[in-house]
Structure 1
Amino acid sequence: MCRSVADAATILTVIAGRDPLDNFTLAQPDVVPDYTKALRKDALKGVRLGIPRGFSPGNQNIIAAFNASVEIIRGLGATVIDPTDFPSLAEIRASGNETIVLDTDFKVDVNRYIDGLLEVPTGVKDLAGLIAFNSAHADEELVPPFWTDQSIFIASQNTTVNQAYFDALAADKDLGQTRGIDATLKMFNLDALLLPTSGASGPAAIAGYPLVTVPLGFQPANTTLSPAQPTRSMGPNQPFGVSFMGTAFSEFKLIGYAFAYEQATHNRLKQLAFPEAIPKTQLADIIGK
């Protein structure tokens, strides 16, 4: 989303707050902090972080870079407890609740989004209409090898907001929050959790808790390019990250931890984009005029 933690803090300060169209935001604190005030290079000093190794990826390059980052973080004054696995880890791995919630929410939210548009030239009114439009215009919408079927859309269309959906929501809250992130933070007296980004999104997503990711490293230049299925999961110089994960409304602290690590490493600059991909015009060039 952003090239730096400072950019992310600036954007979050602008977009955070209560939204009457999103009931989940109504539980947040009345006052939105200025997240840019969290940008301190010493933010990791005295902090206790835990590593839930159960969510580590299988890629050895990522694990090696992550382990090296742990030593850097310790050098910045943090205490790192390793491992600190979730009490609910095995149940999270076996659970299909995330898929149930994701598919159902996608259908509901896409329909709501389309319904709110002022004009839809295609005439599409809902997810079912979107699927039909894609089938009717397959040469433009279902382009091989990147996207040749609509199985995910169809699975979502076949869901309903029923008791199974509400049961899945409740199970996710229990596994991700109560017996997941919150239980782990309390059990080991932690301020936050530290883990490779490739394994971090799942537990944070089912909990609905914040996560901030910063660059950690890159795959070797001789890494084999994986096939498009529909996206490519691996390739030369592919970037990967490290994530700081916390409990509800802990964004301010997480931004500080991420900023301190980012400023100590500047990993993003260790593998630059192709010259053709580097922007020649910045916002300041436009706003200034």
Structure 2
Amino acid sequence: MKPAPRVWLTVVALAAALAGCQSPSADAAPFDVVEATIPEMRAAMESGRLTSRQLVMEHLARIARYEWQLNAAVSINPNALEEAEALDAERAAGNVRGPLHGIPVALKDNIHTTHIPTTGGSLAFEGYYPPYEATLTANLREAGAIIIAKAGLTEFANFMAGPPNQMPGNYNALTGYGLNPYDPRRDPREDRDDGRPALSTGGSSSGIGTATSFWAANVGTDTGGSIISPSNANMLVGIRPTMARVSRWGVAPVTLDHDMAGPMARTVTDAAIMLGAMEGAEPDPNDAATGRCEAPPGRDYTPFLNADGLEGARIGIPRAFYHEPVDVGGRSIGGLGEEAAALMAEAVAVLEAEGAVVVDPAEIPSFVDPDPDGNFNTWSLCIGGHQAKGADEGCSVNFKYGMKRDFDAWLASLGPSAPVTTLTELREWNLAHRDAGSMKYEQSRYDISDEMDVEADRARNAADMAKDSLLSQARGIDAVLAEYELDAIFTPGSRGAGLAARARYPHIVVPFGFVANAPTPPFPEGFDARPAPFGVGFTGTACSEPRLIELAYAFEQATLRRVAPEGFRMSRGRAGAPRSRESTG
């Protein structure tokens, strides 16, 4: 199945323009964008070997060649080449905006861009141009980045359809399903053969295009794990920052109590550069919470790229739930399979070999509490159709309450241009356009959100948020860090995403290996499922991104485990070649 024509025709038109474009001189070695880092791209432009226009052309050529297999984008910037030419002219005149000058990146399609549609993947918002840019978009463009595309997503950040008819990750009504480049096939199992991927793409953000070098990096958004999970699933580095380190203004919300935007990239270096460009130099008057963390000097995180950063670091290994099952109220929760456990043992050995002081175990109090009322892992979110009013005791209402409160406020900020003015109107629009495919998986999360009363349910939301903070912060991350005097805790795969998101604290995932893709029920006989990427995560307390970047970079440079997806290498140079430790100069 090809991606939606609106994407494909734009890609073809842009790719066709390449034929008449000026190429590098015959004597110049071609620049291979596959797995190229932002510093490598920047150095090539600084040396005159490469222009931004050529760089954009190379990425557009990859999109034109492979997009039909992956469905990574919702839309392509039709003016990307013209923007690159303007940035080349600035560079020639001696004006270089920063480390992203002329670099193509993508944004999740719930982040406002006024020059490319912002749709959330919803049919109701098809072709919609918002009246203002997201602050993070403006910051990236001011830093010289070219927004080459809007990346795919689960429709409106996966708060449309939950149980009993769960929307698959990276599905939206506009473009269908995104596929994982590490196994870009569709699920053949009965009752799952609706086009969804055989290998999960992770959360509601898409890392597909970054993994396959369609662009240098992308920005995702994370309410409960949708930066960390897709980064883990696509062998990327993902950073979920501290709540409001990056402005949320101009990002379609689920709940502003937990929503956060962050970078997804192929290396820690690229993710650190992206984070600095996304962060504002000053607090954003449209997002009062942005004054919480102080930005590093010049918003530059690269001084923390220290290959010896693990030397003397105190890293905790929480075993309960993350590695070993824990009994809570007669239920066994968590634990790792053999392959993942072996990888984690190897990863812990790397920490020790790099000079870290490993505290093992370093248990999180709210994870080992045998009382279900005091255990984080039994304090779930009310996100299913079965958790409507009257059936939502024992779970946090924050996501469904915040969706009603913040989504309606976001729609109001769009003014008269908005296709709908309330969540109620969006639900009604979807019902009226069901035959056009507006709600393939229904809209149970919209339904349970829309019944919330912002005033009458305010106290319930506040109480649930207080319990969230108690279990994830005071008896969670802060407790374990303080008890063992830790710099960070170290967790397998994307499992640390939920705790960090509920605490609103930073988390970084780094690629490390592969595990079997062996779902239940199993794939049919003869379907040779390729393995799934598997990373490791570092979690710290509020505003600890500089230290976490240092730890993650040191681990990455000691291991260098990222592997480009096979079949998408189209290399004219060194694609797939092993890398040495990077210079941070």
* TM-score (norm. length: structure 1): 0.82
Counterpart check, 1:21 vs 2:286: yes
Map of 1:103 onto structure 2: 400
Identify which range, 100-109 or 37-46, moves more after superposition.
Answer: 100-109
CA contact (8 A) 1:48 1:78 kept: yes
State the SS of the aligned residue for 1:194. strand
What are the residue-to-residue correspondences of 1:144-159 with 2, within 5 Å?
A: 148-159=441-452
Task: Identify unmatched segments of 5+ residues in structure 2.
Answer: 1-263, 323-334, 370-374, 382-394, 522-528, 573-585
The structure whose residues are more often helix, as a share, is: 1
CA contact (8 A) 1:66 1:216 kept: no
C-alpha separation in 2, matches of 1:264 and 1:182: 28
Counterpart check, 1:160 vs 2:453: yes
Report % sequence identity: 35
Q: Which amino acid is 2:268 matched to?
A: V
Map of 1:12 onto structure 2: 275
One of 33, 55, 63 as aligned partner of 2:341: 63
C-alpha separation in 2, matches of 1:110 and 1:244: 31
Q: Which amino acid is 1:240 matched to?
A: F
Map of 2:561 onto structure 1: 267
State the SS of the aligned residue for 1:88. helix
Give how far 1:140 is off: 2.2
One of 512, 520, 525 as aligned partner of 1:216: 512
Which whole-Å deviations, capped at 9, do the CAs of 1:19-68 have from their partners, x for residues lacking one? 23333322223656521111111111100000112241533322221121
Q: Which amino acid is 1:124 matched to?
A: V
C-alpha separation in 1, matches of 2:428 and 2:461: 25
Give how far 1:118 is off: 5.7
Change over 3 Å in CA distance of 1:126–1:277 after alignment to 2:
farther
CA contact (8 A) 1:115 1:125 kept: yes
CA contact (8 A) 2:396 2:464 kept: no
Give how far 1:135 is off: 2.1
Give how far 1:279 is off: 9.5
Map of 1:73 onto structure 2: 351
Give how far 1:99 is off: 4.0
C-alpha separation in 2, matches of 1:216 and 1:103: 35
Which whole-Å deviations, capped at 9, do the CAs of 1:70-122 have from their partners, x for residues lacking one? 1011111101111111112232122246742122223333223322336647x
C-alpha separation in 1, matches of 2:446 and 2:462: 21
What are the residue-to-residue correspondences of 1:270-289 with 2, within 5 Å?
A: 272-276=564-568
CA contact (8 A) 2:366 2:376 kept: yes
Change over 3 Å in CA distance of 1:54–1:119 after alignment to 2:
farther
C-alpha separation in 1, matches of 2:471 and 2:545: 21
One of 539, 543, 552 as aligned partner of 1:245: 539
Aligned length: 264
Q: Which amino acid is 1:16 matched to?
A: E
* TM-score (norm. length: structure 2): 0.42
Map of 2:365 onto structure 1: 87
Which whole-Å deviations, capped at 9, do the CAs of 1:144-178 have from their partners, x for residues lacking one? xxxx2211222222233410101111111121111
CA contact (8 A) 1:219 1:236 kept: no
Identify which range, 16-25 or 194-203, moves more after superposition.
Answer: 16-25
State the SS of the aligned residue for 1:198. coil
Give how far 1:253 is off: 0.4
C-alpha separation in 1, matches of 2:308 and 2:429: 53
Task: Identify unmatched segments of 5+ residues in structure 1.
Answer: 228-234, 281-289
Map of 2:86 onto structure 1: none
C-alpha separation in 1, matches of 2:448 and 2:350: 44
C-alpha separation in 2, matches of 1:23 and 1:38: 27
Q: Which amino acid is 2:549 matched to?
A: I
Counterpart check, 1:141 vs 2:447: no
CA contact (8 A) 2:319 2:362 kept: yes
Q: Which amino acid is 1:85 matched to?
A: E
Map of 2:145 onto structure 1: none
Q: RMSD of the alignment, in Å?
A: 2.4
C-alpha separation in 2, matches of 1:124 and 1:243: 39
